[in-house]
Amino acid sequence: MTDLLKTSMTRRSLLQAATVGAAGVSPALRSVVYAAGSDAPEKKEVKIGFIPLTDCASVVMASVLGIDQKYGVKIIPTKEASWAGVRDKLVSGELDFAHSLYGLIYGVHLGLAGPKKDMAILMTLNHNGQAITLSKKLADKGAVDGPSLAKLMNTDKREYTFAQTFPTGTHAMWLYYWMAANGINPMSDAKVITVPPPQMVANMRVGNMDGYCVGEPWGHRAIIDGIGVTAMTTQDIWKDHPEKVLGTTSEFVKKYPNTARAVTAAIIEAGQWIDAGLQNKNKMAETIADKSYVNTSVDAINQRILGRYQNGMGKTWDDPNHMKFYGDGAVTFPYLSDGMWFLTQHKRWGLLKDHPDYLGVAKQINQIDIYKQAATAAKAPIPKDAMRTSKLMDGMVWDGKDPKKYADGFKIKA
């Protein structure tokens, strides 16, 4: 046996022991109705792609802690280089599931971002925890937030470049929303490029962009490295916003419904474990910082996961709306209104030429019934309503009731 394998097995054994201690009983001894008989998973081993980001944690921990085995499946986390790669491997079937951007799944379903294929979202993996970073060079010129960036762009005329991670993805939508709320049209006032999350810091270091929106730990990493400042957290754009999802194809769900349910239940439970307390969050940070997952220092992950923020200019604060993986079941439920919101922004920015059937598309993609079965197995509460109401940073209220009016109601759009 190789030293690497020994180390990996030892870590997994230790973490499994830790989760037994946390839960009070071995996962292997807890019987779940879906792990046997006719409800047994059709596929016993599944590949789940992930991008090196903090919010891949519930997928990784479901595997590392052995929670997956409790539900009769074995999760193989597969590290991917870019969201485009995740998309292609999901569509081809090379991956069974993926830790994915919410808007990526919707984009593929509608053929907005490459190949068109019927897609499925089984659960939301996390809320909050992304950030918009501006370069230290901009900050030195006084651009440290939205209003001061808009002022600098008006007075110091040149081409400004900002990066997001995928054209229909969450980070593109947060970046555009934030810029527009501050009077900057991202389609005409700036150049926007696509950069894979782990490459953001390196690209900013060499001056390829003035700012970017990405998931942690790559916002905090820019501060540690002294090359950027946090201009806005995404939870300040939309408190408890949806972020990553467990995505797959509609074809997979139809062919392997029990597998889909088992994997969803395991990841819900992993999210419960992460959010259960400080000790678990620190253990998670230590685990995913490893080079086989996020490949960064533990301190780049463990501060913001606990809500301990600094902006790189001397300001520190405790943020109660930090990244959450469970939140008493409110995080993991795949609200139809969340999916519909991304469609309104795709329409707003010209990615969709016409209004889609907002609710119809969300019902096709978000697998509410499978989620409910998985949540029951994981003893997670189920919200009464598949729609929710939120107020965003500009005062606009989103409740999913009139998506056409909402999408057309923005002053700044494509």
pLDDT tens digits for range 313-349 = 999 999 999 999 999 899 999 999 999 999 999 999 9
Question: pLDDT band at 105, cuts 50/70/90?
Answer: very high
Of 56, 290, 83, the C-alpha closest to 200 is 83
Q: Yes or no: say if 321 and 393 are a contact pair by the CB < 8 Å rule.
A: no
Model confidence at 11: pLDDT above 60: no
Name residue 161's beta-bridge partners.
Answer: 191
Element (H, E) at 252: helix 250-255
Q: Give per-residue pLDDT as tens, 199-234.
A: 999 999 999 999 999 999 999 999 999 999 999 999
Look over the chain and give the mean of its residue pLDDT values, rounded to a whole number. 93
Task: Report pLDDT digits (tens) over 236-277.
Answer: 999 999 999 999 999 999 999 999 999 999 999 999 999 999
pLDDT tens across 360-411, in order?
Answer: 999 999 999 999 999 999 999 999 999 999 999 999 999 999 999 999 999 9
> In this structure, which topology does domain 130-236 adopt according to CATH?
D-Maltodextrin-Binding Protein; domain 2 (3.40.190)
DSSP, res 324: B
> pLDDT-derived band of residue 113, with 50, 70 and 90 as boundaries?
confident
pLDDT: which is higher, 37 or 32: 37
CA distances from 154 to 150, 183, 204, 209, 294 (A): 6, 11, 22, 18, 38
The string of DSSP letters for 181-211 reads HTT--TTTSSEEEE--GGGHHHHHHTTS-SE
User: pLDDT tier at 18 (50, 70, 90 boundaries)?
Assistant: very low
Q: Looking at the structure, give the CATH architecture of the domain made up of residues 3-127+241-305+323-383.
A: 3-Layer(aba) Sandwich (3.40)
Q: List the domain boundaries for the chain.
A: 3-127+241-305+323-383, 130-236
Would you say the CATH fold of 130-236 matches that of 3-127+241-305+323-383? yes
- Tokens, residue 246: 């467990």
DSSP three-state, residue 57: helix
CA 401 to chain centre: 25
Tell me what the mean pLDDT of segment 22-41 comes to: 53
> Does the pLDDT at position 14 exceed 70?
no
Alpha carbon of residue 160 to chain centroid: 26
pLDDT tier at 307, thresholds 50, 70, 90: very high
187: how many CB neighbours lie within 10 A of its CB? 16
Q: Which long-range contacts (CB under 8 A, 24 or more apart) does 81-84 make?
A: 81/196, 81/198, 82/51, 82/196, 83/51, 83/165, 83/166, 83/169, 83/196, 83/197, 84/114, 84/166
pLDDT of residue 29 exceeding 50, the answer is no
Q: Which tens digit of pLDDT belongs to each residue from 35-81? A: 556 889 999 999 999 999 999 999 999 999 999 999 999 999 999 99
